[in-house]
Structure 1
Amino acid sequence: MDRLYSIEEVNKRYETAGSRPLLIHASDMEFYICKYPYHWQDSKLLNEYLAYNFAKIWGLPIPEMKLIDLKREHLPAQMLGMQLNYISIEVPLISSLKIQGITELIDEIAQGYTSNVISKFDKHLLLKIALFDIWLSNEDRNTGNMNLLINLDSNILKPILIDNEKIFNSGSLFRPLLEITYEDSLFYTYLFRKVFGSRNRRNIKLIHEIEASLQPLCSLCFSQLSQIVEQIPYEWGYDRNQVQESLNENLFSEEWMGRVRQTYLQFAGLMYQRP
């Protein structure tokens, strides 16, 4: 992953309910939305890094990610506080390219989309994202907070993934994974129920095709795992061997794969039972 540095003073901090990222102008002349650690080995940095690399392998749309060194002189004193301090920027920050011309996908608004808009959504991609979240135990992409961006002017609507820090059950990869709840999955959203409509043969076939793709996609991730782990910044303080061992034991185990498939198919069925 490329490593950049800030070139001017930060003038925007997103006052979200979550990580309150910074907007940084970087040395490649692009703007990035940057997350910083609240404490030593804050899991959000590693979680975002791993989710990004796995999403790229899965072929999921996700903003380009870089590591950015924020210079101390570029962080105004008035922005400090609320878990941001100069210690926070002593490590490279995980940073997503700011994309122009897109908007956040909000499920309540999606409930009112016309049939013409709904027909433009890429069903294959939506199901892959849902499966990806179940595999990574992402509890933070749901009806209340979809963490997806969309360009509604496109002929084919392909949502873009953002904010993946809550994978591994909103915590760390160093503990066993638990299945997310149905309510915390995309299958529970108004969008999914509108896009997938009735339980017809075509939709059921597609659901099973995506389920069958889990093993090949995860095998591809596993084949590149050593390279991904090797590039984790040493400043984050992780033992790379421990990271790889934990991922092997939890994320890539046959037992977990079976639970992921079962959960995915269960949630797809529940989607059609909900009025």
Structure 2
Amino acid sequence: MQSIDRKNVLGILDEIQTTGHSPLKVIADDNQTYFIKNYGGILPAYYLCSEIICNGLLSIWQLPTPQIILLDLNSKSFQEKLLKYSKKYHKAHYYDNIPAVGSLLVEGNIIELNTLTEPSSWLEINTIENKDNIWKIGLFDIWVENDDRKPSNPNTLIQHISTNRKKVYALDHAFCFNSIAYKDLHPDFGVSQSFNDNILFTNLAKELFKKYQNDKPFRNDVESFFKAKVEICRIHFCEILDNIPIEFGLNEIDKEKLYNFLFHQQRNKNVLECFFDHIEDYA
């Protein structure tokens, strides 16, 4: 499992105002542009831990997601700049002694998934080179209880590589694991995603299922894929957790509870059942 780099912020470009964390757009000392979130003054820094954990899990699932790094921001150097931004999210001491998590800017011609509301034809959809990743992202989100990817807020980018090539990226995983303290997770919770709270309910996903669902033994493929990826994630889970800096305050109880939640056999059967329930009306 590849370790996460740690860099310094050289400049702040802007604040991206959202209903979540309103990340800052910054330039780091590797001359790359990142969107960064801080710990918000609360430890353990579960939101930042979730970003790192899900980035590692997504890499095992081979689902494209922006590279993440740890970024140190000297609040004294940017004191006047920070005063211009939301006080709720960007108090100077939120950056003191604890790194932020940065997500690399996906460059090029980028649109959000929800702008593809009415695919004109299968040929248009077919330009998405990793279109199977739509259902894989939906399955992943059920597994990790992602509360923040849905038709109204897909947190999924489509990158236009060329006229006939598009690529899907999953991003923003702060609100996973039920958005609660890991120590409070329990596999008996089962699966709690509410109706329409998943990328599987986007028009694009529905269209994809209509077009290729009957072309292969889809259920067997999904079950085999899920079980294989979950097992690899289990094997490498400690390596993923090793990327979380000690400053984030994650303890052994948190880690144990999260492990038991993600790799509980009955809960993962429920994950698959939930997935097939989601798509049964249009698959």
Q: Which residue of 1 aligns with 2:93?
A: 87
Identity of aligned residues (%): 24
Q: Which residue of 1 aligns with 2:182?
A: 173
Alpha-carbon deviations, 1:135-173, whole Å to 9, x = none? Answer: 101121111011011123543433101111111123333
For 2:60 and 2:213, locate their aligned partners in 1 and report how far apart those are by CA, in whole Å: 30
For 2:143 and 2:94, locate their aligned partners in 1 and report how far apart those are by CA, in whole Å: 30
Which residue of 221, 241, 260 corresponds with 1:209?
221
Q: Which residue of 1 aligns with 2:63?
A: 60
Which residue of 230, 234, 244 corresponds with 1:222?
234
Is 1:189 the counterpart of 2:202 in the alignment?
Answer: yes
For 2:171 and 2:9, locate their aligned partners in 1 and report how far apart those are by CA, in whole Å: 22
SS of the counterpart of 1:103? Answer: strand
- Displacement of 1:212: 1.9
For 1:11 and 1:195, locate their aligned partners in 2 and report how far apart those are by CA, in whole Å: 38
For 1:199 and 1:2, locate their aligned partners in 2 and report how far apart those are by CA, in whole Å: 40
Tell me if structure 1 keeps the 8 A contact 2:113–2:158: no
Alpha-carbon deviations, 1:37-93, whole Å to 9, x = none? Answer: 223124210111111110011100001110000111135232351232122112111
- Displacement of 1:180: 1.0
Tell me if structure 1 keeps the 8 A contact 2:119–2:125: yes
Is 1:157 the counterpart of 2:160 in the alignment?
Answer: no
2:57 aligned partner, one-letter code:
F
Matches for 1:109-188 after TM superposition, within 5 Å = 109-115=115-121, 116-121=123-128, 122-154=130-162, 155-174=164-183, 175-176=185-186, 177=189, 178-188=191-201
Q: Which residue of 2 aligns with 1:243?
A: 254
For 2:8 and 2:237, locate their aligned partners in 1 and report how far apart those are by CA, in whole Å: 26
Q: Provide the alpha-carbon RMSD of the alignment.
A: 1.9
For 1:211 and 1:179, locate their aligned partners in 2 and report how far apart those are by CA, in whole Å: 20
Alpha-carbon deviations, 1:75-123, whole Å to 9, x = none? Answer: 523235123212211211111111211423242x312232132222333
Q: TM-score, normalised by structure 1?
A: 0.90
SS of the counterpart of 2:254? Answer: helix
2:222 aligned partner, one-letter code:
I
In the alignment, structure 2 segments of 5+ residues that lack a partner are none
For 1:125 and 1:198, locate their aligned partners in 2 and report how far apart those are by CA, in whole Å: 15
For 1:158 and 1:99, locate their aligned partners in 2 and report how far apart those are by CA, in whole Å: 11
In the alignment, structure 1 segments of 5+ residues that lack a partner are none
Higher strand share: 2
SS of the counterpart of 2:280? Answer: helix
Q: Which residue of 1 aligns with 2:49?
A: 46
Change (3 A) 1:145 1:207: farther
For 2:33 and 2:161, locate their aligned partners in 1 and report how far apart those are by CA, in whole Å: 23
- Displacement of 1:200: 5.0
1:264 aligned partner, one-letter code:
F
Which residue of 9, 21, 24 corresponds with 2:26?
24
For 1:97 and 1:233, locate their aligned partners in 2 and report how far apart those are by CA, in whole Å: 19
2:170 aligned partner, one-letter code:
L
For 1:257 and 1:29, locate their aligned partners in 2 and report how far apart those are by CA, in whole Å: 41
The structure 1 segments of at least 4 consecutive aligned residues displaced by more than 6 Å after TM superposition are none
The number of equivalent residue pairs is 268
